[in-house]
Amino acid sequence: MGQLHRIKWVHERLLKKEFPNCKDISQAFEISRRQALRDVDYLRYSLDAPVEYNRSKGGYEYTDSFSLPLYFLRDDEKDRLEYLASQYALIPGKNSMELSNLFQKITGEQKERKEHFQIHTSDFEEIITKAIAYSKKLVICYQKPSNDSEKRIIDPYRLFYRYNQSYLFAFCHERADFRFFLIERIKQLEVSQQSYSFHEDFLENYHLIATSFTRQKKYKAQIFFSLKPHLDRFTEPQWDEKNRILTFSFVNSSNLFRKLINLDTDYPGFTFRILSPQWLAEKIQHKLKTLSSHL
| Termini Cα distance of the chain | 80
Nearest-CA neighbor of 234 among 250, 254, 219, 214?
250
Q: Which stretch binds other proteins (CB under 8 A): 1-9, 99-107, 228-236, 270-278?
A: 270-278
65 binds other proteins (CB under 8 A): no
Give the nearer residue to other proteins in terms of CB position, either 44 or 287.
287
Q: Phi/psi of residue 245, each to 5°?
A: -115, 130
Contact status: 161 vs other proteins (CB under 8 A): no
- With binding defined as CB under 8 A, does residue 165 bind other proteins? no
CB of 253 to other proteins, least distance (A): 5
Type of residue at 136: K
Shortest spacing between CB 126 and other proteins, in angstroms: 30
Pick the closer one to other proteins by CB: 103 or 250: 250
The answer to the question of residue 283 lying near other proteins (CB under 8 A) is: yes
| Residue 272 CB partners (closer than 8 Å, separation 6+) | 223, 224, 225, 226, 260, 263
Q: Does 147 bind other proteins (CB under 8 A)?
A: no
Shortest distance in whole angstroms from residue 164 CB to other proteins: 14
Task: Return all residues near 158 (Cβ < 8 A) that are at least 6 apart.
Answer: 132, 168, 169, 206, 210
Among 54, 122, 243, 252, binds other proteins (CB under 8 A): 252
- In the complex with other proteins, the residue whose CB is nearer, 102 or 275, is 275
Smallest distance from the beta carbon of 212 to other proteins, in angstroms?
4
| Region binding other proteins by CB under 8 A among candidate stretches 22-30, 48-56, 207-215, 233-241 | 207-215
Binding residues for other proteins, total number by CB under 8 A: 16
278 is a contact residue toward other proteins (CB under 8 A): yes
Give min distance, CB of 132 to other proteins, in A. Answer: 23
Candidates 96-104, 228-236, 240-248, 277-285; binding stretch for other proteins (CB under 8 A):
277-285
Strands 245-250, 219-225: pairing kind: antiparallel
Residue number, 116 or 215, with CB nearest to other proteins: 215
Angle at 259 between CA 255 and CA 263, to 5 degrees: 175
What residues numbered 211-240 form the site for other proteins, per CB under 8 A?
211-212, 214-217, 219
Sign of the torsion formed by the C-alpha atoms of 103, 104, 106 and 111: positive
Q: Shortest approach of other proteins to residue 223 CB, angstroms?
A: 15
Kindly tell me which of 35 and 255 has the beta carbon lying closer to other proteins.
255
Q: Does 207 bind other proteins (CB under 8 A)?
A: yes
Q: Name which position in 176, 188, 239, 277 contacts other proteins (CB under 8 A).
A: 277
Binding site for other proteins (CB under 8 A): 207-208, 211-212, 214-217, 219, 252-253, 276-279, 283
